[in-house]
Amino acid sequence: MAAALTVSWSALAAWPHWLIVLILLPLGGAVLTPALYALQRRLVPWWALLVAGLTALTVLPLLWRLAHEGPFSYLPGGWARPYGVELRFDEFAALLAAAVALLAPPVLLFSRRYAARAVPAGRLPFYYTLLLLNLGGLLGLAITADLFNLFVFLEVVSLSAYALVAVGGRPVAELAAFKYLLMGAISSLLILLAVGILFALTGSLNMADVAQRLPALATPAALTLAAAALLVGFMLKAALFPLHNWLPEAHASAPGAVSAVLSGLVVKAGIIGLVRTYQLFAGVELLDTANLGAILVWLGAASVVMGSFFAVFQHDLKLMLAYSTITNIGYIVMGWALASPQAMLGASLHLFNHALIKTTLFLAAGALIYRTGLRTLEELRGIGRTMPLNCAALALGALAIVGVPPTAGFVGKWFIALGALQAGRPFFALVVVFGALLAAVYYVRIINAFYFREPEQKAVVTAREVPWSMLAPVLLLALLCLGIGLLARLPVEFLEPAVARLLDGRS
Amino acid sequence: MKKPLVIALLILLALALLAAMAELPAVGQADAPVHTHVSARYIEQGEAETGAHNLVTAVLLNYRGMDTFGEVLVLFTALCAGFAVLLAAARNGNKHYRQPPAPQESGAVPVIAVSPVVSFVVRLLAPFIALFAAYVILKGHLSPGGGFQGGMILGALFIALTLVLGKQYSARLLPVAWRPWLYALAPAAFLVVGMIGLQLTGYFLGYPQEPAWHGVREAMMVTLEIAIGVGGAVLVASLFLALESD
Amino acid sequence: MSELFDLVLLALLITIALLVVRARDLLVAAIIFSGYGLGLCLLWLHRGAPDVAMAEAAVGAGVTTVLFLVAIGVTGRKEK
Amino acid sequence: MLPEMLLELRPNLDYAAVVVLFCIGLYAVIVKNNLIKKLLGLNIMETAVFAFIVTSGMVEGGAPPVLGPGVMPPLASPLPHALILTGIVVALATTALALALIIRIYLQHGTIEADQLRELD
């Protein structure tokens, strides 16, 4: 029985076109959404959910094949590398794709009731269209192995993200969206400039091909500029300190389900970009990658400290969560830049786990706002009594963000701290501990406000649990925050060879 | 106070950029990697491999079709983004969403007051410009031009006509009921042609290369060109209408 | 001679860009920007890129400028 | 003679012009207070990057990459042209969305000057 199942799985996974289907499904689904709305507007939320669900299923055979065969490519048009655009499914693409697959269906299910209130009616079809475009763009960005194609998908992701921030129509959100757009456009330009320089130097756009050709070059300044432009560009997209200014307002003022996608997934696009940059320049001896790494380690550490510090002093629940995103991006970048096997492993794990945790938190926070219309901890006092399940989910997510074992947040941070010790830099292990302590402070603030204070606001006293179609995704994700931490062995085994390969390419 | 600092920083940035660019292969050098690596293949074999005389079109539709698919998606995203930002926010709860443009009587844009002479010239030239755009779209694989360029010309023409003749006219040119379908035209054409390619060659967006299939190959390219041209024009025109409807 | 043309064109583009940035009147800035698009169109033609030139003429000099004009029509033309 | 000196410097001048345009645009984005002015600056930056990429694909005395009777090599590289066509669309899309946001901001706050908007917060 088990054998038959295995055979059919591998037969399914052997179909060569899953990789292109993975991006065509959400993008094609998005393209048809406005037309579907004109035909049958009630179907749109279900349609989006269906598309997201099918996309999620598509990831399964891909993961299967990756686990059994290692990274593999797909060549649209059949042009051999480097003449066409290559799509490639490696472990890091898989991380982001798995996160998108896991989180997209709950977010869209949550959206059906939530967006009906948070988004003006006329904008609803475009809300779903943009969400699907955003998710499809993220998948494309994760799997492309071509520099310019990366830029194009990055633009799909960014443009839809700017608009999604403003889709709720709050004046604050529109200002935040414009700020986000300006920063995002500058970072995109820097990335395009770097792509241009790399193209002028190598005559190629395929990442593997470029990486192969770069070490032979004798142009230190041009290489440094290209690397710096890519780094700064992707750091801006990922909101790493000191380029984080645009993030808190944009993520806090967007509708809750959008905040979840932005904080959970979209900033990870910047991280994937940083990973790809690293892969490009790992073999270049002219460039002092160790120096660049040292800068990134410090910036990551600064992000951890500054993000936590600001989060502790926020009154607005969503702003607090937004600053915590900066902290967690800091962990991931720090882990990567420490460049020891365990730290990199931890960073990769945390990329996925943070996506899960932050989505849980923002959805739960969105549900509180949906019922009460209140945003600050002061106002939400005592909400734990009237919305117990939702608040339990939020508390569980908050525990995970602190990194209490055995929650999802623990594993990544644990490995990053171990990796810091392994790299002989215990200071950065201290940074991890310090960040966790500060996170515990705002965790206590949340718990204190929700459970140990008397409700004052009328909206809090009369609040009820949100409808099941919103509560179920939140609870499910919260349970996953707990459960995934227990299953950490699996992704660790999966990622270890990838990290080893990456570090090999470097030496 | 702030300005001198910014200027000083920008000068530093400029120097860094110049230092890096000085190391690049000199401009116009025929043996630079740009010309000897990937591009060389496009120039030497592009015509045989794709059937397009215009190598830019060969790259856009064939070698790097995924980029162009992404490009029309970016335009589609921009339009949806425009709607998501601009459509009436105050009408929460209203089940009838306003499909732009609302039929307004005072459709004139304040800054762009059109004189009778301009109006006459635009109307006079419109058929010729449309014809030129069609030529650019249809012959894009043989001569300079292509779906995208022709589509932009068509879109610009539509905008000029709307400015001159008012929105009632644009609603006739671009019926409101068709719009959601037309928005999808360009990206959907990529999906369809890509799938046909998958059936014929085993690769998404692949084009059959055997001589017997050259007619099919050209038909696939022209289909994409027309879809990009018309679809692109609709997207650009609708962006204008969305912005202008306030 | 064509190289001299190139240089003059680049100098012209820089001048126009400066004018766009300096113009106090947004309407004037947008219209000069349309001229910038036309200059770029010439540059593309001169660099052997007729396809890009065509797109630039339609988008840079045409559509983008009109979109700017529409926005300026809403927000007013004076920069404070 | 001055023109000849300039011609000798030309390969560098091409890139220098790109850098100058990039910096002019960035200056406008950073210093200008009006959001539309910032956006114009952004557009200038974008064209500078495009000019850089097209310039890198140029060949001395090269023809456009369109084959036909009487077209002799060398040809300009077609790849950068294709990239820039995509780039132009991206720039148009970004500009359109930014203008949509600017219109909304003006309608909500009555101003599009960055310093006044900051005071409103």
Residue pLDDT, tens place only, B59-95: 999 899 999 999 999 999 999 999 999 887 544 433 3
pLDDT band at B186 (very low <50, low <70, confident <90, very high): very high
pLDDT band at A5 (very low <50, low <70, confident <90, very high): low
Given a cut of 70, the residues of chain C with pLDDT beneath it are 1-2, 80
Residue range A464-483, pLDDT digits in tens: 888 888 999 999 999 998 88
* Closest C-alpha among D33, A371, A77, D89 to residue B208: A77
Sorted by sequence, the CB contacts under 8 Å of residue B104 that are 6+ apart come out as: B167, B245
Of residues C3, C10, C75, nearest to D17 (C-beta): C10
Inter-chain contacts counted by CB atoms under 8 A, chains A and B: 201
- Judged by CB atoms closer than 8 Å, whether chains meet at D85 and C51 is answered as yes
**So what's the architecture of D2-59+76-120 in CATH?**
Orthogonal Bundle (1.10)
D84 inside 8 A of chain A by CB: no
Q: Is B45 on the interface with D (CB under 8 A)?
A: no
Place of tokens 């510090």: A309
* Cβ neighbours of D25 in C, within 8 Å: 17
Alpha-carbon gap, residue B200 to B83, rounded angstroms: 38
Contact of B111 with C69, CB cutoff 8 Å: yes
pLDDT tens for B161-170 read 888 887 777 7
Nearest to B18 among D19, D57, D104 (CB): D19
D105 touching A (Cβ < 8 Å)? yes
Domain boundaries along the sequence of chain D: 2-59+76-120
Confidence band for D60, pLDDT divided at 50, 70 and 90 = confident
Q: Is B71 on the interface with A (CB under 8 A)?
A: yes
- Is residue A9 included in any domain, yes or no? no
Same domain, A41 and A150: yes
The per-residue pLDDT for range A308-325, each reduced to its tens digit, is: 999 988 889 999 999 999
Query: Are A220 and A302 in the same domain?
Result: no
Per-window interface: A 235-294 vs B, CB < 8 A = none
- Give the helix/strand (H/E) hosting B22: helix B2-22
Chain centre distance of CA C79 = 19
Contact A163 D105 (CB under 8 A): no
Return d(Cα C52, Cα B142) in angstroms, integer. Answer: 15
Report, as an integer, the average pLDDT of B193-214: 90
Say yes or no to pLDDT of A285 above 80: no
Domain count within chain B? 1
- Classify burial at C18, counting beta carbons within 10 Å of its beta carbon; exposed 0-12, middle 13-18, buried 19 or more: middle
Q: How far is B55 from chain D (nearest CA, A)?
A: 6
Partner-chain residue, chosen from D15, D66, D97, that has the shortest CB–CB distance to B78: D97
A5 occurs within a structural domain: no
Beta carbons within 8 Å of A48's beta carbon, 6+ residues apart = A29, A33, A108, A111, A128, A131, A132
pLDDT given for residue B106 in this prediction: 40
Q: Is C47 exposed, middle or buried (0-12, 13-18, 19+ CB in 10 A)?
A: buried
Taking CB atoms and an 8 Å cutoff, what residues of chain B touch D27? 6-7, 10
Interface of D with A in 26-65 (CB under 8 A): 26, 29, 35, 38, 42, 45-46, 49, 52-53, 56
Statement to judge: residues A408 and A427 lie in one domain = yes
Write down the pLDDT at residue C80.
66
Token pair in block for residue D16: 């220098």
Residue A10 counted as domain residue = no
Where would I find the beta strands (DSSP E) of A28-138? 72-74, 87-89
Please tell me whether residues A146 and A257 are part of one structural domain. Answer: yes
pLDDT at B107 over 50: no
Indicate if the pLDDT at residue D71 is higher than 80: no
Question: Can you tell me the mean pLDDT for A254-260?
Answer: 92
A256, burial (CB in 10 Å: exposed 0-12, middle 13-18, buried 19+): buried
Question: Does the pLDDT of residue B96 top 80, yes or no?
Answer: no
**CA-CA distance, C5 to B244, in Å (whole number)?**
39
Give the side-chain half-sphere CA count within 13 A for A432: 31
- In-domain check, residue B66: yes
ipTM (interface predicted TM): 0.93
Percent pLDDT > 90 in chain A is: 51
Residue B234 lies in a domain: yes
Count of C-beta atoms within a 10 Å radius of residue D14: 22
Instruction: Tell whether the model's pLDDT for residue A6 goes beyond 60.
Output: yes
Say yes or no: C66 contacts chain D, CB-CB below 8 A.
no
The pLDDT tens digits for A174-189 are 999 999 999 999 999 9
Q: What's the rounded mean pLDDT across residues A353-358? A: 93
Looking at the 3D structure of chain A, how many domains does it have? 2
Q: How confident is the model at residue B99 (pLDDT cuts 50, 70, 90)?
A: very low
Q: Which residue of D has its CA nearest to A167?
A: D101
The share of chain A scoring above pLDDT 70, in percent, equals: 98
Among the partner-chain residues B30, B56, B77, the one whose CB lies closest to the CB of D65 is: B56
Tell whether A54 is covered by a domain. Answer: yes
- Close Cβ partners of A243 (under 8 Å, ≥ 6 residues apart): A183, A232, A235, A236
Q: Where are the alpha helices (DSSP H) in A167-204?
A: 171-202
pLDDT at B43 over 50: yes
- Mean pLDDT of all residues in A231-248: 91
**Domain-located, residue A250:** yes
Q: Domain residues for A166?
A: 15-281
List phi, psi (to 5°) of A88.
-140, 130
Let me know if residue A66 belongs to a domain: yes
- Which domain, by its residues, includes B157? 61-86+113-246
For chain A, give the mean pLDDT: 89
Strand partners, A72: A89
Is A413 within 8 Å of A432 (Cβ atoms)?
A: yes
DSSP one-letter string for B108-173? --SS-PPPHHHHHHHHHHHHHHHHHHHHHHHTTTTSS--HHHHHHHHHHHHHHHHHHH-HHHHHHH
Q: Are residues A273 and A371 in the same domain?
A: no
Same domain assignment for residues A318 and A264: no
Chains with at least 3 CB pairs less than 8 angstroms from chain A = B, D
